Amino acid sequence: MALTKLDQLYRQVILDHSSHPHHHGKLEQSTTQIELLNPTCGDVLQLQLVVKDQVIKDIRFDGSGCTISQASASMMTDAVIGKTVSEALALADQFSLLVQGKDVPKLEELGDAALLNGVAKFPARIKCATLSWKALEKALSGIKD
Amino acid sequence: MSFSAKQVKNDFPILTQIINDEPLVYLDNAATTQKPTAVLAALETYYREANANVHRGVHTLAERATTGYEAAREKVQHFINANESAEVLFTRGTTTSLNWVAKSYGEANVRQGDEILISVMEHHSNLIPWQQLAKKTGAALKYIELTEEGLLDMESFHAQLSEKTKIIALAHVSNVLGVINPIQDIARLAHARGAVLVVDGAQAVPHMPVDVQELEADFYAFSGHKMVGPTGIGVLYGKRTLLEQMDPVEFGGEMIAVVDEQDSTWKELPWKFEAGTPNIAGAIGLGAAIDYLSTIGLSTIQEHEKSLMAYLWPKLIAIPGLIVYGPKDIAKRTGIVTFNLDGLHPHDVATAMDMEGVAIRAGHHCAQPLMRRLSADSTARASFYLYNTTADVDKFIEALLATKEFFAHGLN
């Protein structure tokens, strides 16, 4: 049956992240925040960060979106917390390669986010997966040394 | 001759495709429709045998192109029962048609303190042009609310209609709720107050007989691609008395009478609005689409969609956790069903359905104010047309159930 292909996209870990997202909610104090919209589907993502001495000390996301965008945001926060701004931006580049189906040099650094490689076979959903990473890039671009 | 959707389907080559290893079930007809062989052939014949510019050459091909283009205008005239073909303007689509009315009629007739009345169910294309007109002129933009059931609230309409109302702009059929608005009643009430009625007919003209004179609409807009015609061609119907007093929105070749160094005069209707080389092939393709639909008959198509809905409805509402937006009485709807499934995001639903070969739409359907009224960030939508069969309905329901099961328990 045709839904077997769906397993490549919606792996159990992805469904778990989506239903029990990590670093979800609001921070009382943050140093950087951003809201990004996906105008084609109406998804909204708010991202808050605490960045000190170029290190991501804390991160939270909120908003509404599909399984892929929510899971990806959760996985992204896991991947970048504790990393430097440059390291996080490098991860964003790696993730972008991953969802385009290209080779990623240091796949393990993405953590669970690496499991979103199946998105490459669903081109219409790539922007769901990249929304949180785009928000991260935008938020960090202003504070990179 | 009795109507058979199964036979009609054979006229549409694209529908025989296998998508994701499943036969294609195309249910995104409110977004755009597929094209029958007759329309594809008309486009090819035009480019192979008649391609030339219109209204300016004296050679044989120019004559063929001009005749084909103007014959298409007459087909549109008869199709919507306009009083004369000069009241039919070719545009790029519904969006362009509505923008023209806002820009030309709107800017000339709306002043500070005036009011423009639209409804919360409008597509962005019948909302933003009026919002911009209001901002530019200082007029107030007011919204007709919905009833609890999801119909246009006539009490809200009466409460807001006044001597200040200069323009009422309304969808004939909602692209989300599938409801049919009482255009003729509203036209009469509008005219009694001296307002004009602009109708967005994009979701009506393809699906039911439309008579612009009977509706008493002042302006009526629709698109070719939603009625088995090509993309990039649409229509703006306007009453002659209104079109006569309006300035063209675009200027250039084709639309002029005399050009002096400091001033120019325009051709008569309808050509004064059609600057530049028009979409000749598109108009001819639209003409072929009208011939195709007319042969089947718009009443037949409407009846077919009604019978599909009657077949679908009990199966749909029997699915636990399925939310359908809009009226529950199918007599008040066309072939558009907007829904959500449990706690599932419509994008996830649409991807899963696509894996079953079923094409539906997910998102806000270019109607963000309406989505807020429905308290939904986004929704899924299935929209049916003349080539959809009861087998398509069965496959749609089966795919919905499989999708629900997949996200609840994974694959078995």
Predicted pLDDT of residue B372: 87
Please list the rounded mean pLDDT of every run of 10 residues in chain B (412 residues): 91 95 96 98 98 90 95 98 98 98 98 97 97 98 96 97 98 96 98 98 98 98 98 98 97 92 94 96 98 98 97 96 94 95 92 96 88 88 98 97 88 56
**Three-state SS across A20-85?**
CCCCECCCCCCCEEEEEEECCCCEEEEEEEEEECCEEEEEEEEEECCHHHHHHHHHHHHHHCCCEH
Q: Looking at the predicted structure, is the pLDDT value of residue A1 above 60?
A: no
Residues of B carrying an active site annotation: 366
Query: Is B356 within 8 Å of A3 when comparing Cβ atoms?
Result: yes
Instruction: List the domain range (segments joined by +) for residue A25.
Output: 9-141
- Residue A110 domain flag: yes
Q: Give the pLDDT score at B41.
A: 98
pLDDT number for residue B55 = 87
Residues B18 and B46 in one domain: no
Which percentage of chain A shows pLDDT scores above 70? 99
Verify that B177 and B310 share a domain, yes or no: no
Q: How far is CA A48 from its chain centroid? A: 13
Residues B289, B302, single domain; the answer is: no
List the one residue out of B73, B104, B58, B121 whose CA is nearest residue B368: B121
Q: Which of B24, B354, B355 to mutate to test the interface with A (most CBs of A within 10 A)?
A: B355
A2/B356 CB distance under 8 A: yes
Is any Cβ of chain B less than 8 angstroms from the Cβ of A128? yes
Q: Are residues B213 and B351 in the same domain?
A: no
Q: What mean pLDDT is predicted for residues A43-48?
A: 93
Domain check: are B85 and B169 in the same one? Answer: yes
Q: What is the CA radius of gyration of chain A?
A: 14
Structure confidence by residue, pLDDT tens digits, A60-70: 999 989 999 99
Q: Is position A2 within any domain?
A: no
Task: Report the CATH number that the domain containing residue A100 is assigned in CATH.
Answer: 3.90.1010.10
What domain count does chain B have?
A: 2
Find the CB nearest A2 among B20, B368, B407: B20
Size of interface A-B (CB pairs under 8 A): 63
> Both B254 and B307 in a single domain?
no
Say yes or no: B174 and B286 in one domain: yes
Residue B212, pLDDT score: 98
The residue with greater pLDDT, B293 or A10, is: B293
Q: Do A4 and B410 touch (CB under 8 A)?
A: no
The answer to whether residues B124 and B267 belong to one domain is yes
Q: Does the residue A74 lie in any domain?
A: yes
- Residue B140 CB burial class (10 angstroms; 0-12, 13-18, ≥19): middle
On whether residue A73 sits in a domain, the answer given is yes
Helix axes B60-80, B280-296, angle to 10 degrees: 40
Q: Which B residues, 370 through 399, put their C-beta within 8 Å of a C-beta on chain A?
A: 371, 377-378
* Domain hosting residue B313, numbered range: 5-31+297-409
Please answer yes or no on whether A5 and B357 come within 8 Å at the CB atom. no
Domain boundary among B295, B311, B335: B295
pLDDT-based confidence at residue A145 (cuts at 50, 70, 90): confident
Query: Does residue A4 belong to any structural domain of this protein?
Result: no
Q: Which residues of B touch A67 (CB under 8 A)?
A: 344-345, 348, 407
What's the pLDDT at B411? 62
Please report, for the domain that includes residue B283, its CATH number. 3.40.640.10
Residue (of A63, A68, A64, A24) closest to A46 by Cα position: A63
CATH of the domain at B329: 3.90.1150.10
* B260 and B303 both lie in a single domain: no
Taking only the tens place, the pLDDT of each residue in A77-117 is 999 999 999 999 999 999 999 999 999 988 999 999 999 99
Do B301 and B279 belong together in one domain?
no
**B159 and B290 share one domain:** yes
Distances (CA, A) of B282 to B12, B91, B292, B334: 18, 10, 15, 27
> What is the reported pLDDT for B409?
78
Task: Report CB contact under 8 Å: A66, B345.
Answer: yes
Q: Is the dihedral of CA B388, B390, B396, B399 positive or negative?
A: negative
Q: What is the pLDDT of residue B365?
A: 82
| Closest by Cα among A51, A45, A47 to A33 | A47
Given pLDDT bands bounded at 50, 70 and 90, which one contains residue A143?
Answer: confident
Final residue in a domain of this structure, among B295, B327, B362: B295
Last residue of a domain, one of B295, B312, B337: B295
Interface of A with B in 15-34 (CB under 8 A): 15
The total of structural domains in chain A comes to 1
SS3 B119: strand
**Residue A3 within any structural domain of the chain:** no
Asked if the peptide bond before residue B270 counts as cis, ω within 30 degrees of 0, the response is yes
Same-domain pairing of B183 and B85 = yes
